[in-house]
Chain A
Amino acid sequence: MRQAIQAAEAVGAGTPPLLSIESVSVELPTRRGPLRAVDGVSLSLAAGRTLGIVGESGSGKTMLSRAVAQLLPASACLSGRVRFDGQDLTALSPQALRRLRGRAFAFVFQDPMTSLNPVLTVGGQITETLKEHLGLDGAAAVRRAIELLAQVGIPNPEQRLKQYPHQFSGGMRQRVAIAIALSCEPKLLIADEPTTALDVTVQAQILDLLAREQRRRHMAMILITHDLAVVAGRTDAVAVMYAGRVVERAPTRTLFRAMRMPYTRALIAAIPKLDAPPHTPLPAISGLPPDPTRPSPGCAFAPRCASADAQCRKAAPPLKAVDVGAHQFACWHPLAGAP
């Protein structure tokens, strides 16, 4: 049984995981006391696969992604281990980490308005990394930058290279950010809400672009979002986070066929439906997420959960599989499984 779970943990069973996050916790000091942004999260991801991390604002998904790349704020306290390609990232020197960044893993951030430097040309920003990491000379770096811009679907790459970020639209800027992230052929791409700041029409294009480049390069991807609809068709597995913990984790199909955690269902229910009649009230999740500086002994979702009882308030449910090894959830009163 245990082996079955471990094999299933690596999304894409059979291959050893490219990335494994082992009981990672992140604590941030605040004026109100230590804030547990990430609380004992374990996840793994095989090469070429996609993991979706879903959760509302403040659920710790961004902090988790920063912990993977060891890019946490200086004051943050990280425990647990992050293994990438056989190396323990938490034990590496800053120099070794810097060499890995960009080449082993790269980031695409939420807001392309702020993730590009406003006073440097787009070309300058792409070639900078190429020169530093791949040791290309000026002309070769420019050729490669033009290639990259063309690959991410930017017309007239030669001219666009000389322009500044404010001369690009939001979607185009995110394409540039993706080109920069892909420039050193990373094995893992961490996309932190890559479409949240974009128009709905552009969102699908950017997600398609990410999926295409991922297939082409056989790159693993972590797709972080608060939108379950984004992960539905584009990930191999999904982890749902709440208050710093993974509360449900399953292959994407399994999850959407039968979610077991009431929080996941509430998230789905909160997506507006196009075919609903006008003025249908949206079943929003009532209440607020718990205060992360004052953790409760019980289930963090209990105060907002319809099926919570005394047990839920007393003890936090462990994340475990009940019937099928691949589907794990942390709930004392799970919803009915698949028929």
Chain B
Amino acid sequence: MSVREADLATPTDEALAWLASLPVNFWLALAWIAVIILAASLADALPLPSPTDMDMLAQRQAPSAAHWLGTDRLGRDMLARLIYGARISLTVGVLAPLIGLMIGGLLGIVAGYVRGALETAIVATADVLLAFPPLVLALAVTAYLGPTLANLTYIIGLLGIPAFTRVARAQTLAFANREFVLAARAMGATELRILWRELLPNVMLPLLAFFLLAVAITIVVEGALSFLGVGVPPPAPSWGSMIAEGRESLEIAPQIAFLPAVTMFLTVLSFNVVGDTLRLVTDPRQGTL
């Protein structure tokens, strides 16, 4: 009876087989994210022209050896602006959902496990925040406190908290009634240990997949705010503000608006693909258990 099981693959073999089973678009998406992150973090070391240096003699140029992706309306290098813009998009795009993941996730797990009045309070607060039009709130806050990178991150992060709370609470509700929680309690586990060791690892998988989707959404939100002029102030480049500026020369040089739009599109798509794949991979494993 035990022979078959003794022959089972070791955890590392199984992990390798699991990696090989992931689809091609997942790897392409991952590669694109890696390229963007590498370029953004190494921007200062790369042989790039300054993203803010204007050259009035070389406005709206087509791609050339000097400017690989051409120049914008003020003669600034497009490639440099795209890469430096990625810094802002990625910083906001990753840090803001991280705020949501940590605060919202924690609140959701506690609400789902402790129940009672605390749960009612957390869910009610989350509902109020969800009902508030997010763009209006973001516009109001950045207009009032100033459109700095930090303020932008905080406000988008705050807006993401209720969604994470809801996902975490729903997952916790589902797992808190599973027998392994009762089994842990029957073995004398403290409430804190049940939360930390039994529930958190189970709730974390779907939360992480949701986090990647939130990164994609946040990049779009940051772009929208920059497009509306309440993002990071010029001349610092951001994908959203680049699209806004390119709009003015759409008939003469469409690539100026088109390039940041495509970059943003590919990045958002990549985060969505990675998030979706991870969710698909982790879900059936949960289901079979």
Contact = CB atoms under 8 A, between A and B. Distances in A.
A132 B5 contact: no
B189 interface: yes
B286 A118 contact: yes
A155 B3 CA distance: 9
Contact of A102 (B14, B186, B198): B186
- Give the interface size class of chain A: 35 or more
Nearest to B12: A162
B11 A99 contact: no
Contacts of A147: none
A99 to B, nearest CB: 7
Contact of B188 (A101, A117, A120): A101
A171 B179 CA distance: 17
A163 B8 contact: yes
A103 interface: yes
B289 interface: yes
B179 A114 contact: yes
Which of A100, A101, A184 has the most chain B CB atoms closer than 10 A to its own CB? A101
B188 A132 contact: yes
Contact of B201 (A102, A117, A132): A117
Nearest to A95: B190
Nearest to A129: B187
A23 interface: no
Contacts of A102: 186-188
B201 A120 contact: yes
B182 A159 contact: no
B6 interface: yes
Contacts of B198: 117, 120
A101 B190 CA distance: 11
Interface in A95-125: 98-103, 106-107, 109-111, 113-120
B21 interface: no
B10 to A, nearest CB: 7
A119 B202 contact: yes
B188 to A, nearest CB: 4
Interface residues of B, number: 30
B6 A100 contact: no
Contacts of A169: 5
A133 B188 CA distance: 8
A155 B188 contact: no
A247 B112 CA distance: 40
B5 A180 contact: no
A120 B179 CA distance: 14
A180 B198 CA distance: 15
Nearest to B184: A117
Contacts of A98: 188-190
Contact of A113 (B1, B188, B190, B289): B289
A15 interface: no
B197 A100 contact: no
A69 B186 contact: yes
Given A118-B286, A120-B201, A166-B285, A132 B186 contact: no
B180 interface: yes
A167 interface: yes
A132 B189 contact: yes
A30 B248 CA distance: 67
Contact of B6 (A99, A106, A155): A155
Given A103-B188, A132-B188, A115 B183 contact: yes
A114 B178 contact: yes
A172 interface: yes
Contacts of B11: 162-164
B183 A101 contact: no
Contact of A166 (B182, B202, B288): B288
Contact of B5 (A106, A165, A168): A168
B2 interface: yes
Interface in A23-73: 69, 71
A165 B186 contact: no
Contact of A156 (B6, B183, B186, B188): B6
29 contacts: A101-B187, A102-B186, A106-B187, A107-B186, A109-B183, A110-B179, A111-B179, A114-B179, A117-B184, A117-B197, A118-B286, A119-B205, A128-B197, A129-B188, A129-B189, A132-B193, A133-B187, A155-B2, A155-B5, A155-B6, A156-B6, A159-B10, A162-B10, A164-B11, A166-B285, A166-B288, A166-B289, A168-B5, A180-B187
Given A114-B179, A129-B187, A169-B5, 9 more contacts: A106-B187, A114-B178, A115-B179, A119-B201, A133-B188, A154-B2, A156-B6, A167-B14, A171-B1
Q: Which 4 A-B pairs have the closest CB atoms?
A: A101-B188, A118-B289, A102-B188, A102-B187
Interface of A: 69, 71, 98-103, 106-107, 109-111, 113-120, 128-129, 132-133, 154-156, 159, 162-169, 171-172, 177, 180-181, 184
